[in-house]
Structure 1
Amino acid sequence: MKKTAIILGATGLTGSILLDLLLKDTRYEKIKLFSRSSVDISNPKIEEHLIDLFELEKHKKDFQADEVFCCIGTTKAKTPDNETYRKIDYGIPFSAAKLCKEKNINTYIVISAMGANPDSKVFYNKTKGEMERDVIKQNIQNTFILQPGLISGERDEKRLGESIAKFFFNILNPIIPKKYRSISPETIAKSMVVIANQGFSHTRIENQIIKEIAKNA
């Protein structure tokens, strides 16, 4: 039986690659997209829901699928206000997890980050850690939290800090321990598809393990 998937964040760097993979994957017959803007792709598999993601729970009627992929995330450069930042990086993934539980969706895969820790004094790490903690509390049967390192690749908007970091990461990658090396969005997307269809032994999946999983795509 072919599956239906939901993607949150399909217009983003990793989400757009994930969408392309699922559109080509014969195991999926419908891809529901919940986002603020259209991906502008004409494909019979796609069902778009253009909504305010801060009000995701108002659209629970349409939130039905076999699997949910959450690729939502922002940066301090793009979202300097802490309250808005938290609404995006914590609020949306957590709301999606609650809907998965309510709608009996048994597979939820969400992108977090290396260093996520609810007790961290760093706002970014603390927010990601609290999101992970509260998503896990929903007790969704197949919950998988990816913790990638710095994500390489080009985004539409300019992020000077990230660009500088990526420049140095590219130079230093060969001598950096594998656990901390940068990772491509293609690798993350491929691993999400593998995990959704094959499962994995752990809930939290670290940077290097994501790369190993993607090799099976």
Structure 2
Amino acid sequence: MKTAIVLGATGLTGGLLLDKLVKDDNYKIIKVFTRRTTGNKSPKVKEFIIDLLLLDQFTTDFIADEVFCCIGTTAKKTKDKTVYKSIDYGIPVTAAKLAKANGIEVFTVVSAMGANLKSSVFYNKTKGEMEASVLEQKIKHTYILRPSLIKGNRQESRLGEDIGNFIANFMNLFLIGSLRKYRSIKGETIATALKNIVVLKPAETIIFSNKIKEISKL
């Protein structure tokens, strides 16, 4: 039986993933590194309530078979670009370095569709830099998911979420053929794909929304 590490378990995708791992008999222990409790009472779940910006201080606890990194903030939540980068770049990269140091061979991270190392847009460039630094660790099985707009019910801004989901569903009708990767995607779908990816170990390292949906159905 396996041990998994989950980062970002209080967010939409990470929370859904945690629920799925708890129900999966292949997992004995799920270590959750988080700034606040998930509220999950399963005996499988071992929470480390920490400042995630100090993750590198928990090397001896960061031991598992697989790492699922679902960390991410938004420009709306985190207006300070320095703080934003310390979260969206710093935490995943630190996690990848710890995984490499501790011999963890499977590392998955949720990035974003617009990730681009050379982008002039700060947020896209940050995601691109994160991906590049994660890949530099040369972890044997590394998977970077680049979903488009993620749909789902979050705790905050329920009205805005409902409106956004409606617009996204409408726009999806026009995204066909090679544009399918730009379709919005449910957090539930991403969570299922993450769990499947570590079993299937696909050839691709960078996985877009259309492929994420395919993997979630396998």
TM-score category by the smaller chain? over 0.9
Rounded to whole Å, the distance in 2 between the matches of 1:173 and 1:142 is 31
RMSD (CA atoms): 1.4
Looking at structure 1, the residues matched to 13 and 197 of structure 2 have their Cα atoms a distance apart, in angstroms, of 15
CA contact (8 A) 1:148 1:183 kept: yes
Q: Is the 8 A contact 1:150 1:166 kept in 2?
A: no
State the alpha-carbon separation in 1 of the partners of residues 23 and 207 from structure 2.
25
Given that 2:73 and 2:84 are in contact with CA atoms closer than 8 Å, whether structure 1 keeps it comes out as yes
| Residue 167 (structure 1) shift | 3.3
Tell me how many residue pairs correspond in the alignment: 215
3-state SS of paired residue (2:29): strand
CA-CA distance at 1:138 after TM superposition: 0.4
Equivalent residue letter for 2:157: K
Tell me the equivalent position of 1:96: 95
Distance (Å, rounded) in 2 between the aligned partners of 1:184 and 1:88: 23
Structure 2 CA distance, aligned partners of 1:97 and 1:103? 10
The TM-score normalised by the length of structure 2 is 0.95
Match of 1:155 in 2: 154
Shift of 1:163: 5.9
Q: Which runs of 5+ in 2 are unaligned?
A: none
Question: What is the 5 A alignment of 1:1-217?
Answer: 2-158=1-157, 165-177=164-176, 178-216=180-218
Report the identity percentage: 53
Q: Separation in 1 of the partners of 2:62 and 2:181?
A: 35
2:164, 2:89 → 1: CA distance?
Answer: 24
> What secondary structure sits across from 1:175 in the alignment?
coil
Cα gap change, 1:112 to 1:36, in 2 (>3 Å): same
Query: What TM-score comes out, normalization by structure 1 length?
Result: 0.95
Amino acid at match of 1:140: I
Q: Give 1:109 shift.
A: 0.3
Alignment partner of 2:150: what SS? coil
Structure 1 residue 15, shift from structure 2 partner: 0.5
Question: 1:137–1:160: structure 2 CA closer, same or farther, 3 Å change rule?
Answer: farther
Kept after mapping to 2: 8 A contact 1:77/1:159 = no
